[in-house]
Amino acid sequence: MTVQEFYEEVGGDYNEIMSRLRTEDRIRKFAGMFTRDESYKSLVQCINDGNADDAFRAAHTMKGMCQNMAFTRLYKSSHEITEILRGKDLEGAKQMLGVVTEDYNVVIAGIEKLLA
């Protein structure tokens, strides 16, 4: 799978990421790092624990990474959940978490294929 195909599959912006990171090798390296990051896990955990503050921070970190990686679709849903959690609305966050999880899984599956 090429990097461009990967970005198309996960709803990202290939041109933007290339303009910033310059090489596909570097993009692959960063994609690998993305799979190791624990923000998503932490987000799920904190929402289940009812810890809105830490959930907010995890969502915020995730959103920042998606901005950096130009994962546009996942960026949009993680941005939305971040704003919900900023208002400490745990119920709203639970409802939104489904969409985030769906987008996240697509990205992770894509990266696995990209790096295979």
Q: Cβ atoms within 10 A of the Cβ of 76, count?
A: 15
In angstroms, how far is CA 86 from the centroid of its own chain? Answer: 18
Question: Binders of other proteins: how many residues, by CB under 8 A?
Answer: 23
With respect to other proteins, which residue has the nearer C-beta, 29 or 94? 29
Q: State which of positions 23-42 bind other proteins (CB under 8 A).
A: 26, 29-30, 33-34, 36-37, 39
100 binds other proteins per the rule CB under 8 A: no
Nearer to other proteins, 78 or 96 (CB): 78
CA angle 15, 70, 26 (to 5 degrees): 75
Q: 30-67 b/e with 16+ CB inside 10 Å = b?
A: ebeebeeeebbebbbebbeeeebeebbbbbbbbbebbe
- Contacting other proteins (CB under 8 A), which of 10, 43, 47, 69? 69
- The contact set with other proteins (CB under 8 A) reads 16, 19-22, 26, 29-30, 33-34, 36-37, 39, 57, 60-61, 63-65, 67-70
